[in-house]
Amino acid sequence: MNIAVSLMIYGSMVATFGPTVLRRLTRRGAAPRLGALAWLVAIAGALGAWAMAAGLLVIEFATFCQHPADTLRDSYTVLSTPVHLHGGLIAQFGTLTLAALVAVAVIGMLVHTARAMLRLRRITRAHGRAVRMVGRRVPGVSAVVLDSPERQAYCVAGRPDTIVVTSAAVDALTRDQLAAVLAHEHAHLSGRHGTLIGLLRAIAITLPGVRLVTDGVGEIGRLLEMCADDTAARRHGAEPLLGGLLAIVGATGPFPAGALSAAATAVLARAERLAAPVGPVQRATNRTALLAVIAATIVGLLEIAVGVLFCTTVLG
């Protein structure tokens, strides 16, 4: 039980302090890919720690049902007093009730997350089919052109992936600007950013009270926009991309739940980043700090995981 408690405490500490630290390190987007990875590692570390703790309790509950006497004795050795052996039936019943509740909660959260993910995917694919039906192809534009007075450009993952740009946006952008904006959307699709954001949104729907996840969805989305900006800027230059973003900024949708719009997320911060990129010293310092946070998160979880394996294999 001590190991399970340690995992719960570790996950709670990462979930509590992680958002503040990571938001400060990734605010400028000096290293957006590494910043997004740091958020993902923190989320995976917290959820992984809680899942391991739940797994220990579920295993304890399952084995107790088969061999109650042996499990109580072995659990004391392996998990450092998981139950009060001398506490009588009340203590044993309380421990097993907790384990059963944890098992039901874990299964329920997994089912809820899977349903949310499937629901978001259905919405995205339905929107992609709809715009392909009503939109049109224009020579020289590698996207579906949708007649609309709103200046919009976004992508939706599906089968096939779809990039949508409105006629108003095509008219407002120069050829170079349009190419840069579409390259931004292609970068999202090639990086499978929509799938990742969809999964994170599904987890956030399941765990609305976990700030690390709910804040992480927005922060990772912002960093992925910066990653797509970098890809488009390398191919077409920062000025055309910046001009294209400013020309279509302010689009309000409607966008499907899984869409990634070029000018709907943190446009001001991204424009400042494109116009005045950080220097190499600040970038190197930021990367070092992010790597340290990633390493600390992984090492902390691995230490506890190694302790679980050691207790199971050596002491068991």
pLDDT digits (tens, 9 = 90+) for 156-215: 988 888 999 999 999 999 999 999 999 999 999 999 999 999 999 999 999 998 999 999
Query: In this structure, what token pair is assigned to residue 157?
Result: 């993952």
Give the least confident one: 130-144, 173-187, 287-301: 130-144
Contact present, 229 and 36 (Cβ < 8 Å)? no
Predicted pLDDT of residue 308: 65
